[in-house]
Structure 1
């Protein structure tokens, strides 16, 4: 009977350990969601969103393979260093920030790949949700900062076609070149802190 009880306890402990999750919170002071897009066919305009939040859930504190990721960005925090342009980007020509104040990445899973990770999830911009895949590099492993907190850093990149998300601004030069290109490069520098 004692052996059966020991096996049962071991099984319960193993089950609890195998399903335990470690929570991480995105540090907004050290996380940067950026974008780049070609302008008039000759230059790159870039910008960032300064207000964001997110969570990561891992199976343990040392491995991000199969991590679950959720991310939210405040569209009204867009900053391209030119107020007139920022106001235009918040308008219905682009994000319609009044009606759609958040962009989100949900149901995202981080999987170990060759030379890094692949993050796949549902990106919602305006009223459109589409699957998107980011290439992700972990920067420098997992560290303990001077204040005793456990941190990990990542760089995630992808590109999207803005027309896929009902971002409809479509002015063209007389030569037919897009004033603002359809393809938008996205770069997210993430610092996550273990809860």
Structure 2
């Protein structure tokens, strides 16, 4: 019993000061992309140019990760200015009232090898729904400047009507299913 108490006392300071490692997204090597059908016959692609995200994790495989991501919806970019303006209007994102969308991860589970499932809450406009992303973990590497980096690809599909984005609901002008494709690179924050 005495040895157990001594061991607890000896290791207590280590557990008291254990902190999660923070990984911040690298916007130069991250992209938040989407595509949706137009008139049921072709895909229209777009992306968001401004965003910020972070991961808090103690484990090397990120299975304890706490993930937060915020996207500036005013940065929507389909390479067609009139369409981007329309997407910002009340027909779609209502950016004056809802300038950001948010994702808060609730779990990241390893399925097999480098494949994971990320679950969390996605908020678009005034609606928050649970979503699941299929994730491929690309691994970690030390870059030429000594920074630890981690890479992920994440995909999911959402029903835009669930988020009160109803334009064209009755005429199939824009498909209801929006595919999200995220290419993510994070840099470990230095102590």
Tell me how many residue pairs correspond in the alignment.
188
SS at match of 1:190: strand
Q: Distance in 2 between matches of 1:181 and 1:4?
A: 63
Structure 1 residue corresponding to 2:177, chosen from 183, 186, 192: 183
Q: How well do the aligned residues superpose, as a CA RMSD in angstroms?
A: 1.9
TM superposition shift of 1:168: 1.4
TM superposition shift of 1:15: 3.0
Name the structure 1 match of 2:106.
108
Q: Is the 8 A contact 1:67 1:111 kept in 2?
A: no
TM superposition shift of 1:72: 0.2
SS at match of 1:180: coil
Q: Distance in 2 between matches of 1:146 and 1:109?
A: 31
Structure 1: gaps spanning 5 or more residues: none
Structure 1 residue corresponding to 2:97, chosen from 99, 115, 118: 99
Name the structure 2 match of 1:118.
117
Q: Is the 8 A contact 1:70 1:108 kept in 2?
A: no
Structure 2: gaps spanning 5 or more residues: none
SS at match of 1:159: strand
TM superposition shift of 1:66: 2.1
Name the structure 2 match of 1:36.
35
Could you tell me the TM-score, scaled by structure 1's length? 0.90
Equivalent residues in 2 for 1:114-193, closer than 5 Å: 114-115=112-113, 116-139=115-138, 141-170=139-168, 172-173=170-171, 178-193=172-187
Name the structure 2 match of 1:74.
72
